[in-house]
């Protein structure tokens, strides 16, 4: 019980802002996840005050959720941190799931680099094949930048683990 009160008091001092971007916030009643009991769309700002999470949407509409109802929440950002994908659909494709990043190309892939959102290179490979799968089980959850190069093209794309 003391941990919950401490967490609530710490959260009451936090303000999360997403710049001019928006995010979807998923609220879960159980730490195990499952189906969220509430989904908040187009959220641009979260504040925690007086035992409530207050979500302000892009249109300035506000939704409040009691912190006592929330075991955990997650964010699915749109346009994270001003990092824009340069993917234009020409030849290189990047996708991911919880455990892998998948890269395929029309040509041989000469280099794949993965960077943390802080700009630290966390992975690099030179597969010289048209497909590559990178295991991400050693990476913490967060936003990563994937830079892929072939002989005639380079693509930079963000992925969320």
DSSP label of 80: G
Say what the pTM is: 0.48
State which of 49, 78, 107 marks the end of a domain.
78
Count H helices and E strands in the chain, helices first. 1, 12
What would the pLDDT profile of 15-44 be if each residue is shown by its tens digit? 344 444 567 888 888 876 678 899 888 888
| pLDDT the model gives residue 82 | 43
CB 112 within 8 A of CB 122: no
| β-pair type (62-66, 129-135) | unpaired
- Same domain? 72 vs 86: no
CA atoms within 13 A on the CB side of 112: 26
What would the pLDDT profile of 72-106 be if each residue is shown by its tens digit? 877 775 544 444 444 444 688 888 888 899 999 88
Which is nearest to 130 in space by CA: 155, 147, 105? 105
Q: What is the DSSP string of 7-72?
A: HHHHHTT-EEE-TT-EEEEEEESSTT--S-SEEEEEEEEEEEETTEEEEEETTS-EEEEEGGG-SE
State which of 78, 98, 132 marks the end of a domain.
78
- Same domain? 118 vs 140: yes
- Same domain? 67 vs 99: no
Q: Which domain holds residue 86?
A: 82-160
| pLDDT the model gives residue 7 | 43
State which of 78, 104, 120 marks the end of a domain.
78
- The values of phi and psi at residue 8, to 5°, are -65, -40
- Same domain? 155 vs 105: yes
Name the range with the highest mean pLDDT among 27-36, 87-96, 126-135, 140-149. 126-135
Average pLDDT of the residues in 53-75: 86
The token duo for 69 is 């109802």
- Same domain? 86 vs 74: no
- Same domain? 6 vs 43: yes
Look at the chain and report how many structural domains it folds into. 2
């Amino acid at each position: 019980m003391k941990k919950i009160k401490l967490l609530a008091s710490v959260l009451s001092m936090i303000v999360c802002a997403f710049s001019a971007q928006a995010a979807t916030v998923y609220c879960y009643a159980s730490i195990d996840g499952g189906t969220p009991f509430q989904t908040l769309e187009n959220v641009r700002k979260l504040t925690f005050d007086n035992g409530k999470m207050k979500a302000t949407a892009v249109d300035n509409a506000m939704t409040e959720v009691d912190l006592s109802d929330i075991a955990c929440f997650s964010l699915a950002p749109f346009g994270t941190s001003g990092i824009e994908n340069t993917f234009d659909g020409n030849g290189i494709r990047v996708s991911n799931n919880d455990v892998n990043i998948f890269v395929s190309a029309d040509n041989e892939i000469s280099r794949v680099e993965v960077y943390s959102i802080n700009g630290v290179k966390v992975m690099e490979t030179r597969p010289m094949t048209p497909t590559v799968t990178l295991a991400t089980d050693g990476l913490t959850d967060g936003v990563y930048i994937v830079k892929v190069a072939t002989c005639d093209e380079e693509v930079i794309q963000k992925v969320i683990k």
